[in-house]
Amino acid sequence: MSKPIVIAVDGTAASGKGTLAKKLAAHFHFAHLDSGALYRLTALAVLEAKGDPNNPDDALRGAQTIDLTLAGGPSIRTDVIGRAASQVAAIPAVRAALLDFQRGFLARPPGGSPGAVMDGRDIGSVIAPDATAKLYVDARPEIRAHRRWQELQAMGIVRDEGDLLRELVARDLADKTRAVSPLIQAPGAGLLDTSDLGIDAAFAAALALVSPKVEGALKDRHRG
Ligand code: DC
């Protein structure tokens, strides 16, 4: 059996990477995993157990007790969970505990799908350095803060946009400068700046960047 095709989508918070990853998965009929949800679920488990997200023992226990059934739900989408997710994500034991699940998903995409799209911070650099195609998604911080503000508002959470901007910049810095698996533009990743693009235009740009590699790999599979 040939190896599954993998599209790695990394990028900054609220850059649009999750939406793009989902749309790419639907387009190619691939499975999709939002790896950020694993860190958010870990954060949720830690906070519910009244633990400290910066404490390695508490954080590892959280990673070992995540409840995957909550992955698609709103409880992990709050900014409090986002901040705590960034904290647990800096702890090497947490990343190690979540590694097998992510690699397993890519090696055997659910539903017998020929490929998988995974979005996060270290997919193209650490989880799947040999990915078929890689994207690095970014946007200006002010634009991303506004998107986050809109997302939260839609969930009934009203936040000051300036505060969100400061938190987002702080989270970017933490994610980019941590010692383990920092957010980088992985070698071979195409850069996509979504600042001035609507969803349809951003998706068209993402498709233009990954399609040649993905279509080539799909053809090879059919031939092989
Ligand atoms: O993409 P997100 O906002 O759901 O991610 C939440 C946090 O999880 C993010 O600040 C950093 C961490 N994360 C990570 O370290 N590695 C990943 N592959 C995905 C997310």
Mean pLDDT value across the chain: 95
pLDDT at res. 222: 83
Q: Which position has the higher pLDDT, 103 or 157? A: 103
**Is the predicted pLDDT of residue 134 greater than 80, yes or no?**
yes
- pLDDT above 70 for 151: yes
SS3 state at 172 = helix
9 C-alpha to center of ligand 1: Å?
A: 12
Reported as type and span, the H/E element at residue 166 is: helix 161-177
CATH code at 37? Answer: 3.40.50.300
Which of 35, 119, 148, 172 to mutate to test ligand 1, by most ligand atoms within 8 A of the CB atom? 35
Is residue 134 within 6 Å of ligand 1 at its C-beta?
Answer: no
- Could you tell me the pLDDT band of residue 155, with boundaries at 50, 70 and 90? confident
Question: What pLDDT was estimated at residue 1?
Answer: 59
> What is the reported pLDDT for 215?
96
State yes or no: pLDDT of 152 exceeds 90: no
Measured from the CA of 102, which atom of ligand 1 is nearest?
A: 18
Q: How far is the CA of 33 from the centre of ligand 1 (A)?
A: 12
Q: How many domains does the chain have?
A: 1
Whole-angstrom distance, CA of residue 203 vs CA of residue 192: 10
The reply to whether ligand 1 has any atom less than 6 angstroms from the CB of 39 is yes
Domain of 134, in residue numbers: 5-214
Query: Is 224 contained in some domain?
Result: no
Strand order in the sheet with 5-11: 31-34, 115-120, 5-11, 133-138, 190-193
Please tell me if the CB atom of residue 172 comes closer than 6 angstroms to any atom of ligand 1.
no
| Cα–Cα distance for residue pair 211/224, rounded to 1 Å | 19
111: left (phi over 0), alpha (psi -120 to 50) or beta: left
Tell me: the pLDDT tens digits for 73-92? 989 988 899 999 999 999 99
**Is any atom of ligand 1 closer than 6 Å to the C-beta of 168?**
no
Q: How far apart are CA 127 and CA 75, in angstroms?
A: 26
Q: What is the pLDDT of residue 146?
A: 97
* pLDDT recorded at residue 61: 98
Inside any domain, residue 220: no
Write the pLDDT tens digit of every residue in 183-195. Answer: 999 999 999 999 9
C-alpha Rg value of the chain to the nearest Å: 17
Does 222 reside within a domain?
Answer: no
* Model confidence pLDDT, tens digit, residues 22-57: 999 999 999 999 999 999 999 999 999 999 999 999
Enter the pTM of the model: 0.96
In a domain, 185, yes or no: yes
Separation between Cα atoms, residue 196 and residue 29, nearest integer Å:
28
Mean pLDDT of 214-220: 94
Chain centroid to Cα 28, Å, comes to 18
CA of residue 112 to ligand 1 center, whole Å: 26
Which atom of ligand 1 is the closest one to the Cα of 18?
Answer: 1
Q: Which atom of ligand 1 is nearest to the CA of 127?
A: 18
User: Which has more pLDDT, 10 or 224?
Assistant: 10
In a domain, 219, yes or no: no
Are residues 30 and 5 in contact, defined by beta-carbon separation less than 8 angstroms? yes
Sequence-distant (≥ 6) Cβ neighbours of residue 214 within 8 angstroms: 5, 7, 28, 115, 132, 133
Task: Check pocket membership of 13 for ligand 1, CB cut-off 6 A.
Answer: yes
202 three-state secondary structure: helix
Contact assessment for residue 48 and residue 65, using Cβ atoms and an 8 Å cutoff: no
User: Ligand 1, from 70, 127, 137, 175: best to mutate by most atoms within 8 Å of Cβ?
Assistant: 175
Region 99-118: mean pLDDT is 96
